[in-house]
Amino acid sequence: MKSERSIKLKKNSLKYRLRKSPEAREMKLSISRRGSLVLTVPKKASYGAIRRFIVSKADWILERLDVIIRIDQGKAVRSSRKDYLKNKEKARKFITDRVKYFSELHGFKHKRIRIKNQRTVWGSCSEDGSLNFNYILFKMPKDIADYIIVHELCHLKRFDHSERFWNLVDRTLPGYKNIKRKADEIVFV
Ligand SMILES: [Zn+2]
């Protein structure tokens, strides 16, 4: 027996097919050839147990599924593991160039830059000064990518979202507020 279900996972609403099998002895996740998520469970598995199982596998799932990201009411970019592996170095060059541009102008000092295939995170900054960026930035409108990069660079100087932090963002990227509004409206589908 198969049925379509959906579950909310780290801000993504995720569809999956539930397959109850008398032969299944434990729960198992797989990705079908068409790219959809299939969960096979023993016949008597409860909804609570199924939910807990999916949530515990969230990272595994989100790393493998294609994600469509809607920007600017209409424009959309697609992110997938395959696309990530194909474009990672291109994305690294784009992101590193922008980081260098803002760093030279405003004196930001960072350590390592990592390019990741994250699902709901565009960028992050760790306290040791290394930066992580989502490879998908290189497909985004340039102003949004710049805002995300500048946001993380400013965290190198201020590790919070205080008024002083936002003032720093404003000095680095004047008029950032309109861009931030657009960035905040991005939806994962
Ligand atoms: Zn922040």
* CATH at residue 119: 3.30.2010.10
The alpha carbon of 151 and the centre of ligand 1 are apart by a number of angstroms equal to: 6
> Is the same domain home to 172 and 86?
yes
The alpha carbon of 152 and the centre of ligand 1 are apart by a number of angstroms equal to: 6
The alpha carbon of 14 and the centre of ligand 1 are apart by a number of angstroms equal to: 26
> Is the same domain home to 59 and 79?
no
In angstroms, what CA-CA distances link 141 with 62, 145, 179, 183? 23, 6, 10, 10
Q: Which of 32, 65, 98 is the last residue of a domain?
A: 65
Tokens of 189: 């589908």
The alpha carbon of 20 and the centre of ligand 1 are apart by a number of angstroms equal to: 43
The alpha carbon of 165 and the centre of ligand 1 are apart by a number of angstroms equal to: 9
The chain-wide mean pLDDT, for the chain, equals 88
Phi-psi region of 78 (alpha: psi -120 to 50; beta: other; left: phi over 0): beta
Name residue 73's beta-bridge partners.
75
Which pTM does this prediction carry? 0.71
Amino acid (one-letter) located at 116 = K
Torsion sign (Cα): 17, 22, 23, 26: positive
The alpha carbon of 150 and the centre of ligand 1 are apart by a number of angstroms equal to: 10
Q: Is the per-residue pLDDT at 177 higher than 90?
A: yes
pLDDT interval class at 1 (50, 70, 90): low
The alpha carbon of 98 and the centre of ligand 1 are apart by a number of angstroms equal to: 18
The residue segments making up the domain with residue 43 are 2-65
> Is the same domain home to 22 and 81?
no
- Give the pLDDT of residue 88: 96
Q: Is the per-residue pLDDT at 68 higher than 90?
A: no
Q: Is the per-residue pLDDT at 189 higher than 60?
A: no
> Is the same domain home to 103 and 45?
no
